[in-house]
Amino acid sequence: MTTPLEIRVTLPATTSLLGFCRLAASAAAASLGFDVDELDDVRAAVGEAIGLLLSGHPIDAPTSALLELRLTLDNDSIEIAAEIEHPSLIACEETSLTAALLGATVDEYSFDLHVGRRAAHLVKHRMS
């Protein structure tokens, strides 16, 4: 693959679709030849990172907020970017456990967490 393939999905920002995000990311990573251990890493990282983006979101309220999920596939790496913008988003921060989990499962990660906007960025390289 010479040109990175980009997949963009917009979905309601609800934790009930967290499984969709994990599945989409792991299926995309599988298409790059990631082994099952690496797919487990991708799943765990996506669940943790997007779970943080969704934490504290008023899930009882109508889900007007949208989650933008972008998967960029290069030869041997997948980049996962997720972003939510909504006035109801309160302040939140990365915990030590989140940092540990992401540090163990992906090669790069970063968060941009603000009131009203949260974003996560993950990169995982294929080692196998």
Partner 1 sequence: MTGESDPRFLEFRRTSAPKLRNELVEDNQRLADYLARRYTHRGVPDADLRQVAYIGLINAVDRFDPAMGVKFATFAGRTIEGELKRHFRDATWMVRVPRGAKDRSLDVRNAIDRLTNELGRSPKPHEVALSLGISEDAVIEALDVSAARSVDSLDRPAGLGGVEVGGSVGGSDPGFDAVDGELTLEELLPLLGERERQIVELRVYRQLSQSEIAAQVGLSQMHVSRLLRRSLETLRQATET
Contact residues for partner 1 (CB under 8 A)? 14-19, 22-23, 26-27, 30, 33-41, 43-44, 47-48, 51, 54-60, 90-93, 95-97, 99-101, 103-105, 128
Q: Minimum distance from CB of 31 to partner 1 (Å)?
A: 9
Q: How far is the CB of 46 from partner 1 (least distance, A)?
A: 10
30-47 burial string, b = 16+ CB within 10 Å, else e? eebebeeebbebbbbbbb
Rg of the chain in Å (alpha carbons):
14
Give least dist CB 117 to partner 1, A. 15
3-state SS class at 123: strand
Nearer to partner 1, 15 or 110 (CB): 15
Query: Minimum distance from CB of 57 to partner 1 (Å)?
Result: 6
- CB of 82 or CB of 101, closer to partner 1: 101
Angstrom CA distances, 86 to 11, 71, 74, 93, stand at 13, 21, 30, 17
User: Tokens for 78?
Assistant: 């997948």
In the block, residue with structure tokens 């993950």 = 122
Given the complex with partner 1, which of 3 and 87 has the nearer CB atom?
87
